[in-house]
Chain A
Amino acid sequence: MDTMIAVEHLTKRYKKAATPAVDDVSFEVAAGELFAFLGPNGAGKTTTISILTTTLAKTSGTITIAGHDLDRDPTAVRREIGIIFQKPSIDSHLSGEENIRLHVALYGVYGYRPLYRLMPAEYRRRIEHLAEVVGLGDDLFRPLKTFSGGMSRKLEIVRSLMHRPAVLFLDEPTSGLDPISRRGLWDYLREVRNEDGTTVFLTTHYLDEAEGADRVCVIDHGKVAVDATPEELKNRLLERTLVLDAADRGALRSELVALGLAPQDDPGGELRVDYRTPTAQDVISRIQTPLTVLRIREPSLEEAYIQLLRDPEEAVA
């Protein structure tokens, strides 16, 4: 699969800073991938995204986006990317549609006209369709000052996709949104990815949003701590757990010990065993004691992430 983003040995040291904010970071993002770039506050996520989107100069390293070298042809890179910034970057003095009209003019998609009705019919059709898709409808023509946080975010997403970018950078796109707005945004982004195969570069603190990523890269203290699929990350860092119980709990406990497992009392009053075999079936098929409770507890990405940040050496190992 084609590489859409290639970052090699990227370093950024801010003026007067004792340590680099981003320190020798390398990774690749394949075309069409949903790439989650995670890390705690201050880890270097926004610095990296600012460099990739050409708004911040790097100290060293090489970056290629959609085949364009970021140093040699930043304008070509900008043509290929769409961005939803961490902080809203829309003009509250204008209406939603006026913000979008400005955007399409900046990207050269359509010639600018001072009035909406003077814009090409294709633009008007597209914007009305998108407004319906994201549920903005006629609100698009209202002053932005009357928009809620969720509506503003939807507007930013519509805007960022108007020039059909090859790569969409989402810097904490759902921070401050209510759960319904969050779900709506992700449903829409899923549609966009299905239709256009847009590569998505996501930073977020909501780990459930990164569960669906094709790949997860965790950065900590400016360095890449891990770069893997969510499944690999969970398997590498966490033991999956079986919750079991039997009418004769003592017999079950003895049998589990005999199988080389280490049963522990679960807070729910049942027994818990961690396993690292490829599937839970490998363990269950060896148990003879009749079970009254059997649950498989899959670790979440969030648990793996927290484990990683607590014990980064284990992840590297």
Chain B
Amino acid sequence: MTTRPSTYEPAQRRLGAVGGTRRASMGRDLNAVFAIAWREILRAVKSPLSIAFTVIFPILFIGILGGSISQNLSGALPYAYLPFMLIGMVANSMYQGTITGVTNLVEERDNDFTAELFVAPISRYAVLLGKLIGSGVAAMFSLIGIVAMIIVMQIPMNAGDLLRVIALTPVLALAGGALGVFLIGLTQEPRTVAVAVPLLIFPQMFLSGALIPVSASSGILGALSKIIPMTYSIDLARNIYYWGKPEYAAAVLHPPMLDLAITVGFFLVFTIVGTILFVRADRNR
């Protein structure tokens, strides 16, 4: 075989508008974020078993654990327990869904799919942001189970209150996903990640006030509840739900702007540091 005369054209000329300007590069990254996010949603839709587990998990917690606590221990609370717990479960489900979805990147790296993502001419942030958004949307399937439990258990919540909380779920999903990004920045070992994910989700579920109020927590448990991100995300959701209601002061821990600022702060730090660590660890083997 002989060398062919190359009709090679530089990509900048060949691909026209998607060439080298900063605006074009940003446009390409946004397009990639959308494509990667949609892939996550497609994968979730094409896996009925995974959707079933996503829906069943909040049903089990709200129905069995929430129902039991409500019947036996909630008498002393100055507010109805089930709506309080349900808001916590919305935030917890978003965290759980996105952490699991984002950390799945490590499994994909092991299966070599990420090679396709990481040789594409897009920023690493676009890859992780797409993964994060897609996992967040996929996590919203858990809302089906939550709404089902509101109806089945006749939990006293009006549609407007619930819609306000649902409107916040993208923020909750991003906050949870950022923790996932940070985790895969620290370790890319699939077995370690598999063990670390439940450790990241369940202690937060119990310490953040998702299930049990933590306003009276003190000592080590009190300190832990103050340093975990889920505490502030859940409190932000409760701020929105209880705003203007008589039980507001008893049900929330912090002012909404403080919760929002801390949630956004955690998101930025975890996403940026996690992405830098992940990319560096991936290339600097």
Contacts and interface: CB of A to CB of B under 8 A. Distances in A.
Interface of A: 1-2, 4, 14-15, 30-34, 53-57, 66-67, 75-76, 78-81, 83, 85, 87-91, 93-94, 98, 101-103, 105-109, 111-112, 114, 143, 163-164, 166, 190, 193-199, 212-214
Given A94-B42, A197-B6, A112 B35 contact: yes
B3 A32 contact: yes
A108 B10 contact: no
B220 interface: no
Contacts of A94: 39, 42-43, 46
A75 B120 CA distance: 8
B18 interface: yes
Contacts of B11: 66, 76, 79-80, 163, 166
Contacts of A33: 3
Given A31-B8, A105-B35, 7 more contacts: A4-B8, A32-B3, A76-B121, A94-B39, A102-B36, A112-B31, A196-B8
A102 B39 contact: yes
Contacts of B34: 105, 112
A112 B38 contact: yes
The SS class assigned to the A binding surface is loop
B8 A199 contact: yes
Interface string B245-285: 00000000000000000000000000000000000001111
B14 interface: yes
Contact of A87 (B5, B8, B36, B112): B112
Contacts of B118: 54-55
Nearest to B46: A93
Given A91-B43, A93-B46, A94-B39, A106 B122 contact: yes
A142 B47 CA distance: 16
A62 B115 CA distance: 22
Contacts of B6: 1-2, 4, 31-32, 166, 197-199
B4 interface: yes
Interface residues of B, number: 47
B8 A197 contact: yes
Interface string B27-54: 1100110111011001100110000000
Nearest to B24: A108
Given A32-B5, A214-B1, A89 B116 contact: yes
Contacts of A103: 116, 120
Nearest to A103: B116
B100 to A, nearest CB: 15
Contacts of A112: 31-32, 34-35, 38
Nearest to B116: A89
Contact of B4 (A15, A91, A197): A197
A93 B43 contact: yes
A34 B4 CA distance: 9
Nearest to A34: B1
Contact of B3 (A30, A66, A88, A196): A30
Given A76-B121, A83-B119, A114 B38 contact: yes
B283 A66 contact: no
A75 B12 CA distance: 12
Nearest to A105: B35
30 contacts: A1-B3, A4-B6, A32-B4, A32-B5, A32-B6, A34-B3, A54-B119, A55-B282, A57-B283, A75-B123, A80-B11, A85-B112, A85-B116, A89-B115, A91-B43, A98-B39, A102-B36, A106-B32, A106-B35, A106-B117, A107-B121, A108-B24, A108-B122, A112-B35, A164-B14, A195-B7, A196-B7, A197-B5, A198-B8, A214-B1
Contact of B32 (A54, A55, A57, A105): A105
B39 A91 contact: yes
Interface string B218-243: 00000000000000000000000000
